[in-house]
Amino acid sequence: MSLTIVVLAAGQGVRMNSDLPKVMHALAGRPMVRFATDAARALEPENLIVVVGYRADLVRSAAGEGITFVTQEEQLGTGHAVQQAQIAAGKADTVLVLYGDTPLIRPETLRQVVGHHEEVGAAVTVLTSRPADPTGYGRILRAAHTDTVLAIVEERDATPQQKAIDEVSSGIFCFRDEWLWPNLEDIEKSPAGEYYLTDLVAIARAQGETVTAWTVADPLEVIGLDQRIKLAQGEAEMRRRINLGWMAAGVTLIHPETTYIDAGVVIGSDTTIWPNTYLQGQTRIGQGCTIGPSSVIRDSDVGNRCRVELSVVEQATMEEDSDVGPFGHLRSGAYLAKGAHMGNFGEIKNATLGPGAKMGHFGYMGDATVEAGANIGAGTITCNYDGKRKHRTTIGAQAFIGSGTMLVAPVEIGEGATTGAGSVVTRDVPAGSVAYGVPAKVRPTADEEEPEVKDRDHG
Ligand code: UD1
Ligand code: MG
């Protein structure tokens, strides 16, 4: 049977008290509308439509691929929102409606509801739940003896007795396509001036059509994240699911409750993650790594067998067997080649540490290339910024940079060269030579008075 899915995401969400549309608030680093559209996409519908309105461009950019967007100019309610999708929807057997503020829904559940709806041949099927607190949701009215679903009554229109009903509407519906579209026009404006999609239940019943309900076992799947308190509940549930998924895939989480893994992150097996660690954005961690405690890795690529301890790694790459920390900061464009080491209190920005290069204690490498096996002494700093422009530093393979060296860029230290402790290097240092002092001079070798050095313009 052919399926159209309509995701409603046009509302502002006033109870969020926010400039952002409600559906753009994130769970595990991803806008909630994206979870709804991903769940929809998993069913491989013939047609996936998202209804946008408030700050439509933002929502469009977050919803993902393969979507037809329709605009609801004025947010006149969920019934009106679905109506906007009619032309784009074309013809199908079944129309499944989801809400963009219900991102915890699982594709398996959607499949079950659609399957049940099609099997029964109902005009309308509503997905219901029994949450601990039904406040705020539409209540399901059933006939006293037969259990037949009669109507849905919104919280604001419910009598005290109706409010005591603990079965609520998730907002997720299946409709028989040919029944839905003409009947949407029969929804009457509510006293609050909205066209409620939920009214279709009573309309179908009045026509003697079959209306069924499918009750989801886990009410958390269908909580509507309308306010920040619910958003936090949704966040906790989404993170719990993500963590369970990674543990099942072979990742050790020492303390899952304080391990925060975003939805887009990928982790290899036999990696161990210590508490208070945040893996964010588009981050990939290899196998056999030890990450944390108390680390943040954002939009970075970390190879196999790496270690990151008490450190922040952002937009950086660590090749296999490299390590950072404790108390390191890899900033944008930092690149640690295989086996490179950055120890205590280091910072690297837009710079590469070559294979096996070491920077054990304190120090800053900015706009620099450190070649294989070089050793950067404690407190070494690239003076990469002259107040106007950034300049590059190159340190050759196997060079030995003495503690507290200031490398005034642009400057090049040759392969195997040495700088003395505390030297301020303003000129290039030839390969294999030794430079020392302030500003650093290259020490003459036995067969030469003063080695030739290339002057650098530091203006
Ligand atoms: C809705 C249901 C309620 C159900 C609850 C489940 C109605 C009338 N009520 O209430 O029965 O228990 O969801 O979470 O349907 N939207 C639009 N255009 C509009 C209005 C809303 O696109 O004109 C979108 C919103 O962006 C949102 C979704 O539809 O994603 C649901 O709207 P919302 O205002 O959250 O409805 P609820 O009050 O939660
Ligand atoms: Mg809602």
Out of 25, 255, 329, 361, the active site residue is 361
What dihedral do alpha carbons 220, 221, 222, 224 form, nearest 10°? 70
Residue 353 near residue 335 (C-beta atoms within 8 A): yes
Q: What is the pLDDT of residues 191-221, one digit of tens each?
A: 889 999 999 999 999 999 999 999 999 999 9
pLDDT at 57 (0 to 100): 98
Name the residue with tokens 């109902």: 122
pLDDT digits (tens, 9 = 90+) for 216-266: 999 999 999 999 999 999 999 999 999 999 999 999 999 999 999 999 999
Ligand 1 atom 11: the closest Cα is on which residue? 138
On the question of pLDDT at 452 being above 70, the answer is no
pLDDT in tens, 14-48: 999 999 999 999 999 999 999 999 999 999 999 99
Encoded amino acid at 331, one letter:
R
**Residue spans of alpha helices (H) in 164-199:** 177-184
What six digits make up the tokens of 38? 């991903």
For the record, the structure tokens of 16 come out as 């969020």
Which atom of ligand 1 is closest in space to residue 101's alpha carbon?
Answer: 30
- Decide if pLDDT at 85 tops 70: yes
Point out the ligand 1 atom lying closest to the alpha carbon of residue 197: 15
pLDDT band, very low/low/confident/very high, at 451 (cuts 50, 70, 90): low
* Catalytic annotation present for 361: yes
Q: Tell me which of 16, 71, 101 to substitute to probe ligand 1's pocket, judged by most ligand atoms within 8 Å of the beta carbon.
A: 101
Q: Which residue has the tokens 């057997």?
A: 93
Q: Look at residue 459 and tell me whether its pLDDT is greater than 50.
A: no
Query: What pLDDT is stored for residue 166 in this prediction?
Result: 96
Question: Is the pTM for the entire model greater than 0.75?
Answer: yes
pLDDT in the model for residue 192: 87
Closest to 273 measured CA to CA, from 282, 287, 263, 281:
287
Q: How far is the CA of 98 from the centre of ligand 1 (A)?
A: 10
- What φ, ψ does residue 110 adopt, rounded to 5°? -60, -40
